[in-house]
Amino acid sequence: MMKRIGLLTSGGDCQALNATMRGVVKGLANLTDELEVYGFDDGYKGLIYGKYRMLTSKDFSGILTQGGTILGTSRQPFKLMRVPDEKGLDKVEAMKQTYYKLCLDCLVILGGNGTQKTANLLREEGLNIIHLPKTIDNDIWGTDMTFGFQTAVNVATDAIDGIHTTASSHGRVFIVEVMGHKVGSLTLHAGIAGGADIILIPEIPYDIKKVTAAIQKRAKAGKRFTILAVAEGAISKEDAKLSKKKLKELQAEKAKKYPSVSYEIAEKIEKQGIEVRITVPGHTQRGGSPCAYDRVLSTRIGAGAAEAIMDEEYGIMVGIVNGKIKRVPLAECAGKLKTVSPKDQTVKAAKAIGISFGD
């Protein structure tokens, strides 16, 4: 039985996109003799403007260990999907026309939260959609783990590990800024794994006095250095009390003065006469080869998607819950963010061993 599927990767890239697409295609190739796979260039952009190519088994050979995405990706904000482009093109209608023109049985979409919202929109428009949860933030509701997360944790942990020796040699305070605007999972895990002394995440607003007190307490105990793992979206208790509008205005003002949140925190700490250095691993957290854990997870999720396609069960996300592959209805999970609870066992464990969250 012939199966025609489309593949696209959207949003920020990560290390295990290729491994997951490989899992889908290899899984389908084992289940059906007739298979056509169309890859869309640069995410939803390729679907909107009809930029695609037919892929063969050769395209998926040797990409298990390759980071990034062979299809390319782009960010297409969900809130602009219903807004016509500069030439007046109806993007949603254009995506549907591309789908029907190719007579696709299903469109497999790999991406994070914004990508998932658009995937759900296409489901509501009547297309057969399967979403696969990709993000280094592990913030997608309905799955215990996203592919890309564990590799990013490893990269961020390596960055913190590398800072340890220089921090202890010079007796300095170091801030390592980890990716994550809204959710602190990556910072939390890398901070614990890297032996950070202070972890600041968006879900637990910090009091700068408590942060400096934790640094001074270490100094009094004879510790020569302190390492802070700080999420991009770390927020002070004062700022957390502001309305969304006021906070946006304040952040726009701060952006003129500080390259990122770490520079603001560093300035506040330095007022106490403490020397601070900042390291920003940045996009290295999205790059390189996927770790073994992510290769296995991606293969399982890809194979799970192939089975769902053969079962003709669409309008779902293929996630992992309690160690098992699960088909989660897109209507249930789209638009929901999975955040770190301040009561999370991992947070409690970190606090139990003396890591400060500045709260």
Residue 171 has a pLDDT of 84
130 pLDDT band, cuts 50/70/90, is very high
CA 134 to chain centre: 6
173 bridge partner residues = 226, 276
**Contact (CB, 8 A) for 134 and 147:** yes
- Band (pLDDT 50/70/90 cuts) for residue 64 is very high
Tell me if residue 137 is catalytic: yes
Give the Cα separation of 200 and 184 in Å (integer).
Answer: 8
Q: Please report the sign of the dihedral spanned by the C-alpha atoms of residue 193, residue 194, residue 197, residue 198.
A: negative
pLDDT in tens, 278-326: 999 999 999 999 999 999 999 999 999 999 999 999 999 999 999 999 9
Ordered domains of the chain (ranges, CATH): 3-148+290-333 (3.40.50.450), 152-286 (3.40.50.460)
Is the pLDDT at 170 greater than 90, yes or no? no
pLDDT in tens, 81-104: 999 999 999 999 999 999 999 999
- Given 41, 137, 139, 197, which residue is catalytic? 137
Burial level of 94, CB count in 10 A (0-12/13-18/19+)? Answer: middle
Backbone angles phi, psi at 134, to 5 degrees: -110, 125
Is the pLDDT score of 256 beyond 90? yes
SS3 content of the chain, % helix, strand, coil (to 5): 45, 20, 40
